[in-house]
């Protein structure tokens, strides 16, 4: 099946009991057994739930993977991955990544004895310099949040293989519509399904997708043992959202291009971060490993002053000032005080994240209205 057909059909099937074409919400905590241990594949909903099973199958199919696992949030999925490690193990991650990932790495797992190195991953030399015999995981986020750097997944996979480490790719910004990291050598793909995959800003959830059977079993054990699993209502909502993923992503990309080009020519805008520009430092990699360039854009105003950025954010009428991204509606945010506030200011500046940076999640509205909102807000 081609991608658009997969979003609607792959991994899901009509309900065998009633023929319902949409996956039912199995709102149950437990399941009756014929005899002790003799059941129909379901014992307790923390471990398995039929609604969640179909969601996991759908996400796995979209990522060209074999096994999918759903979690109560993207951070619960991240937590599960790091629990594969032991004290003394080391992780190499990009220095420009989601603040929540940085927080759980440094505030939760570093005190437990796992060491994290944050490097600019557009240069694989910097990654190789941090590889030791203790390196067990390489964590890639591409495009990065919020500076939209693009990391070469195939090159990162080669480094991980040499080191005997697992390669994890956070595919939240791209979704499998734009890239499929498992096809490029990744071992684990992680998603915040809250964002583009759900697409309607009405459910919080995460997911992992893998190919390897043994790795899937280890992750499934942790998923069940730690209990960070989603309820069936949220699984239903994400399944509903996935069915229009290809249509929404096409519009996000079209609108993103128009907004990026408008911002770039605006006299009050100093810099626009968007991988679709030919002079973007990682454009060649983006063009090779991505189907299009997405609807996430960041920019800095002339003068690079935080107060000017705040004034613009307060003037928006269509772009809603809110956490998150990837919904049908356009959102704007101030990473330094919102999504990336947990990263120390000196670390943000070292990575190139200015205190005046504005991040846009360009929605699927009529782009002329979005550009008019930018015009009136920036002045």
Structure tokens at 308: 């000017």
80, 131 Cβ separation under 8 angstroms: no
119 DSSP β-pair partners: 94
Q: What secondary structure does DSSP assign to 124-168, as a single string?
A: HHHHHHH--TTEEEEEEESS-TTT-----HHHHHHHHHHHT-EEE
Query: How many CA atoms lie less than 13 Å away from 119 in the CB half-sphere?
Result: 19
Structure tokens at 269: 């805008």
139 DSSP β-pair partners: 93, 168
- Per-residue tens of pLDDT for the chain, all 379 residues: 999 999 999 999 999 989 999 999 999 999 999 999 899 999 999 999 999 999 999 999 999 999 999 999 999 999 999 999 999 999 999 999 999 999 999 999 999 999 999 999 988 999 999 999 999 999 999 999 999 999 999 999 999 999 999 999 999 999 999 999 999 999 999 999 999 999 999 999 999 999 999 999 999 999 999 999 999 999 999 999 999 999 999 999 999 999 999 999 999 999 999 999 999 999 999 999 999 999 999 999 999 999 999 999 999 999 999 999 999 999 999 998 887 877 888 888 887 888 899 999 999 999 999 999 999 999 9
Q: Which residues are catalytic?
A: 46, 98, 170, 195
Distance CA 267, CA 261 (A): 12
Other CB atoms within a 10 A radius of the CB of residue 217 amount to 12
Closest-CA residue to 255 (of 379, 353, 373): 373
Distance CA 62, CA 64 (A): 5
Strand pairing report for 188-192 and 166-170: parallel
Distance CA 81, CA 355 (A): 31
Residue 322: strand, helix, or coil: coil
Distance CA 258, CA 240 (A): 28
Q: Give the Å distances, CA to CA, from 253 to 227, 263, 326.
A: 36, 15, 11
206, 70 Cβ separation under 8 angstroms: yes
Distance CA 218, CA 77 (A): 13
Distance CA 343, CA 99 (A): 6
């Amino acid at each position: 099946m081609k991608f658009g057909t997969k979003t609607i059909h792959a991994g899901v099937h009509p309900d065998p009991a009633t023929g319902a074409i949409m996956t039912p919400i199995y709102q149950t905590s437990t399941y009756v057994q014929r005899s002790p241990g003799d059941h129909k594949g379901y014992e307790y909903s923390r471990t398995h739930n039929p609604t969640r099973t179909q969601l996991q199958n759908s996400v796995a199919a979209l990522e060209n993977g074999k096994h999918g696992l759903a979690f109560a949030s993207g951070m619960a999925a991240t937590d599960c991955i790091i629990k594969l490690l032991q004290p003394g193990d080391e992780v190499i991650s990009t220095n420009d990544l989601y603040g929540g990932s940085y927080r759980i790495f440094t505030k939760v797992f570093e005190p437990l004895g796992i060491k994290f190195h944050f490097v600019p991953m557009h240069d694989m030399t910097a990654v190789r310099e941090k590889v030791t015999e203790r390196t067990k995981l390489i964590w890639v986020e591409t495009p990065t949040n919020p500076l939209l750097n693009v990391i070469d997944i195939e090159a990162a996979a080669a480094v991980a293989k040499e080191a005997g480490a697992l390669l994890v790719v956070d595919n939240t910004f791209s979704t499998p519509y734009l890239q499929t990291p498992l096809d490029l050598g990744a071992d684990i793909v992680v998603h915040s399904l809250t964002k583009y995959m759900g697409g309607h800003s009405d459910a919080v959830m995460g997911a992992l997708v893998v190919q390897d059977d043994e790795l899937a079993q280890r992750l499934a054990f942790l998923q069940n043992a730690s209990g960070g699993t989603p309820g069936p209502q949220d699984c239903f909502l994400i399944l509903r959202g996935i069915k229009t993923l290809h249509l929404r992503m096409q519009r996000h990309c079209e609108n993103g291009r128009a907004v990026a080009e408008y911002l770039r020519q605006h006299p009050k805008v100093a810099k626009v971060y968007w991988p679709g520009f030919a002079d973007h430092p990682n454009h060649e990699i983006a063009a090779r490993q991505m189907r299009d360039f997405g609807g996430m854009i960041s920019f800095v105003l002339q003068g690079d002053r935080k107060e000017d950025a705040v004034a613009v954010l307060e003037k928006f009428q269509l772009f809603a000032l809110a956490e998150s991204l990837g919904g049908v509606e356009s959102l704007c945010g101030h990473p330094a005080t919102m999504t990336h506030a947990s990263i120390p200011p000196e670390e943000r500046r070292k990575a190139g994240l200015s205190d005046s940076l504005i991040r846009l999640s360009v929605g699927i509205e009529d782009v002329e209205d979005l550009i008019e909102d930018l015009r009136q807000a920036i002045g």
